[in-house]
Amino acid sequence: MPVKAILTDIEGTTSAVSFVFDVLFPYAREHLPAYIRSHAGEPAVAAQIEAARSESGESGADVERVIEILLGWIASDRKATSLKALQGMVWAQGYRAGQLKGHVYPDAVAALKRWKQEGYGLYVYSSGSIQAQKLIFGCSEAGDLTPLFSGYFDTTSGHKREADSYRRIAAAIGLPAGDVLFLSDVVEELDAAQQAGMQTCGLAREGGTLGAHETVASFALIDPARL
Ligand SMILES: [Mg+2]
């Protein structure tokens, strides 16, 4: 079946896991408290502080307590919606200030550019917020890569390990799931996409294979026309 669109994960796929854990999360952890204290009165930030109170069940938490809660969520890798939104705001500030540059593997940059030229629709599906996705690609070490992508999906489309999420994304793209190639470094995500009818290719940058999925170590080895 011919591939018409390519849907890619970010973390561990287009970009190093270490960028997220060694650069982005520490940056957010370091800058989040001051950012919240100085922007707590702005509607967008106030709304997320309120959402964090609601998500934590601590409706009376003051701003300092909310900061504690958020730092706890970062430490336990809890992907709370309010935390992700606030991290996105902190990262946006860092990217705009030039303190952050998104990591994208050079082989991924080259392949994405080639596939775009060849007429494939390119889409992103990551558990990071859509805003964070646009920042990684928009302020990347290779420049602004956002013109390559036709759409972005996050967990508002559903969990990455559930087949229904991929069915919803295919519908949103406007293609039968079988026309979409999904790229990821996590076998459970590839399984879910395959269950929804998508074609799959695993990225294992250290080598090895991901379940029964075709697995490669670099984007340079992916030929969507041959799948
Ligand atoms: Mg991943």
pLDDT digits (tens, 9 = 90+) for 20-75: 889 988 999 999 999 999 999 999 999 999 999 999 999 999 999 999 999 999 88
Mean pLDDT value across residues 112-137: 94
Looking at every residue in the chain, the average pLDDT score rounds to 95
pLDDT digits (tens, 9 = 90+) for 170-190: 999 999 999 999 999 999 999
Cβ(133)–Cβ(124) under 8 Å? yes
Longest dimension (CA), the chain: 57
Residue 1 has pLDDT above 80, yes or no: no
Q: How far is the CA of 189 from the centre of ligand 1 (A)?
A: 9
Residue 132 has pLDDT above 90, yes or no: no
Q: How far is the CA of 54 from the centre of ligand 1 (A)?
A: 29
pLDDT for the residue numbered 63: 97
Q: How far is the CA of 61 from the centre of ligand 1 (A)?
A: 34
pLDDT digits (tens, 9 = 90+) for 70-106: 999 988 989 898 998 899 899 999 999 999 999 999 9
Q: How far is the CA of 9 from the centre of ligand 1 (A)?
A: 5
Q: How far is the CA of 77 from the centre of ligand 1 (A)?
A: 14
Q: How far is the CA of 71 from the centre of ligand 1 (A)?
A: 23
Q: How far is the CA of 125 from the centre of ligand 1 (A)?
A: 9
Rounded to whole angstroms, the Cα distance separating 32 from 91 reads: 9
CA-wise closest residue to 100 among 115, 114, 87, 86: 87
Q: How far is the CA of 59 from the centre of ligand 1 (A)?
A: 34
Residue 68: exposure state from Cβ atoms within 10 A (0-12, 13-18, ≥19): middle
Q: How far is the CA of 210 from the centre of ligand 1 (A)?
A: 12
Q: How far is the CA of 39 from the centre of ligand 1 (A)?
A: 31
In the chain, the amino acid numbered 29 is R
β strands within the chain, DSSP E: 5-8, 121-125, 151-153, 180-184, 199-203, 215-216
| Distance from chain centroid for Cα 90 | 16
Q: What percentage of residues in the chain have a pLDDT greater than 70?
A: 100
Q: How far is the CA of 109 from the centre of ligand 1 (A)?
A: 16
Q: How far is the CA of 10 from the centre of ligand 1 (A)?
A: 6
Give the residue carrying structure tokens 């989040």.
32
Q: How long a stretch of residues is the chain?
A: 227
pLDDT for the residue numbered 62: 97
**pTM of this prediction?**
0.85
Rounded to whole angstroms, the Cα distance separating 130 from 126 reads: 8
Classified as helix, coil or strand, 227 is: coil
Sheet holding 5-8, edge to edge: 151-153, 121-125, 5-8, 180-184, 199-203, 215-216
pLDDT for the residue numbered 22: 94
pLDDT for the residue numbered 20: 86
Domains and CATH numbers, the chain: 5-16+103-226 (3.40.50.1000), 19-96 (1.10.720.60)
Element housing 49 (H / E): helix 43-56
Residue 162 has pLDDT above 90, yes or no: yes
Rounded to whole angstroms, the Cα distance separating 28 from 77 reads: 13
pLDDT for the residue numbered 74: 87
Residue 149 has pLDDT above 90, yes or no: yes
Q: How far is the CA of 46 from the centre of ligand 1 (A)?
A: 31
